[in-house]
């Protein structure tokens, strides 16, 4: 009864819904919805790349150890849910992919949390974001209504949100950038209709200005067909044409309108990539990419585009799936070390420096490479010529008086 009374108070005083997650009409006149936005290849590529990246990364539940280290918490009831079976029909890849897709398109991802009698999480079920209403109670805690049913408290919903203006509901990237997406949709529609109703000629055959006109349509058509038969297509490339009666062939180039359309399409692609902070080479466009900077662009994708989403997922899981008493001892983390690696030779050279100067052990390096530790691999080296300068027993070399005098003169 207490929960029902609270729900009624929220409905009157502080309720607000996710109505903005539906559709809107852009300034270009295009109706922007999730499905229409996904028809834009660049946007679909951005969203799916983020979703697939989140889904394929190893996800671990760790327990902090007394010596300051960590170990996989395989005995915890949440471990198999995160690692193997989130629910009865989805794999972990499929579940995390659809969760990130919902967050990337609509700004919010919701899952129903099934718990056992002890309150432990036993399954996660994805929910349709368009059917969720978020409510804020007098105690400022959110809870959720699914398809008009009774509200559910926060402990029953796993909520991952994008950028939020009120702290409760994430903004939909699709709706927030409806004009940019509508512009891309309008360009795509214009291009398609241009091909449908327009004409694209490779060139024209011209007769001299003073020559009498050929009024017989069949003769004109026969000339065009013969020309195409002899010189059209890649199989006839390089042939030499012999023209009679003063005729000339004039190839047609791209018109200014076509060139501007191409530039507009490129600009539209860049605009959409900016929504998700996506480097263009990551979505198939090599504009601005060189042999020397592709690796840095890949790392920029991980750091600036992917990492914020990973942190949202990690911290939302720790808030929603771990009991308050467990959060000091357990934490959830994605392993992104593989994505941040440089090329192999540069990576091994860095390992060699760290090993030589004593801040990396063999097992440290093996852990970075996702390899198991080896016996005796925890030892750290120290170069023989490295000594403590503050040790009074260390013989310090005396400075060369002549060298000191030359330095003094140079500084005058």
Domain boundaries, the chain: 2-180+301-334, 203-251, 344-411
Amino acid 343: pLDDT = 63
Identify the sign of the CA torsion 297, 302, 306, 308. Answer: negative
Amino acid 390: pLDDT = 67
Amino acid 297: pLDDT = 81
- Decide: 14 and 135 in contact? Cβ < 8 Å: yes
User: What CATH code is assigned to 2-180+301-334?
Assistant: 3.40.140.120
Which residues face 59 on adjacent strands?
Answer: 334
Sequence-ordered list of residues with C-beta below 8 angstroms from that of 263, at least 6 positions apart, any chain: none
Burial label, 291 (beta-carbon count in 10 A; 0-12, 13-18, 19+): exposed
Split the chain (412 residues) into runs of 10 and give each run's mean pLDDT.
40 37 69 88 94 94 87 94 95 97 95 94 95 91 91 95 92 91 84 60 69 72 77 66 74 56 74 90 71 75 93 97 93 84 73 87 83 85 72 68 72 62
Amino acid 15: pLDDT = 37
Gap between the Cα atoms of 172 and 85, Å rounded: 29
């Amino acid at each position: 009864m207490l929960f029902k009374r609270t729900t009624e108070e929220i409905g009157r005083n502080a309720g607000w819904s996710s109505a903005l997650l539906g559709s809107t009409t852009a300034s270009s006149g295009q109706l922007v919805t999730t499905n229409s936005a996904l028809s834009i290849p660049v946007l679909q590529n951005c969203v799916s790349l983020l979703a697939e990246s989140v889904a394929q990364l190893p996800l671990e539940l760790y327990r902090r150890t007394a010596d300051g280290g960590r170990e996989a918490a395989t005995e915890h009831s949440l471990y198999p849910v995160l690692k193997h079976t989130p629910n009865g029909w989805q794999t972990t890849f499929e579940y995390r992919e659809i969760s990130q897709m919902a967050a990337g398109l609509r700004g919010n991802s919701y899952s129903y949390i099934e718990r056992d009698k002890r309150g432990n999480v036993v399954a996660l079920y994805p929910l349709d974001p368009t059917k969720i209403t978020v409510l804020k109670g007098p105690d400022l805690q959110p809870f959720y209504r699914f398809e008009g049913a009774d509200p559910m408290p926060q402990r029953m919903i796993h909520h991952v949100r994008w950028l939020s203006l009120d702290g409760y509901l994430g903004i939909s990237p699709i709706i927030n950038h409806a004009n940019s997406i509508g512009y891309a949709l309008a360009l795509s529609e214009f291009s398609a209709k241009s091909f449908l109703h327009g004409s694209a000629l490779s060139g024209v055959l011209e007769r001299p200005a003073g020559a009498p006109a050929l009024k017989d349509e069949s003769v004109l058509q026969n000339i065009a067909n013969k020309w195409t038969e002899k010189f059209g297509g890649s199989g006839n490339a390089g042939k030499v044409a012999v023209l009679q009666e003063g005729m000339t062939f004039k190839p047609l180039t791209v018109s200014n309108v076509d060139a501007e359309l191409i530039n507009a399409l490129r600009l539209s692609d860049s605009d959409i990539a900016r929504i998700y902070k996506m480097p263009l080479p990551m979505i198939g466009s090599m504009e601005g990419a060189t042999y020397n900077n592709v690796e840095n662009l890949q790392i920029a994708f991980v750091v600036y585009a992917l990492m914020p989403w990973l942190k949202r997922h990690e911290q939302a899981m720790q808030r929603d799936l771990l009991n308050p008493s467990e959060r000091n001892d357990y934490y959830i983390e994605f392993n992104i070390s593989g994505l941040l690696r440089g090329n192999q030779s540069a990576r091994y050279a860095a390992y060699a420096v760290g090993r030589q100067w004593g801040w990396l052990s063999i097992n440290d390096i093996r852990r970075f490479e996702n390899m198991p530790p080896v016996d005796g691999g925890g030892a750290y080296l120290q170069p023989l010529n490295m000594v403590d300068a503050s040790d009074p027993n260390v013989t310090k070399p005396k400075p060369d008086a002549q060298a000191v005098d030359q330095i003094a003169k140079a500084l005058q």
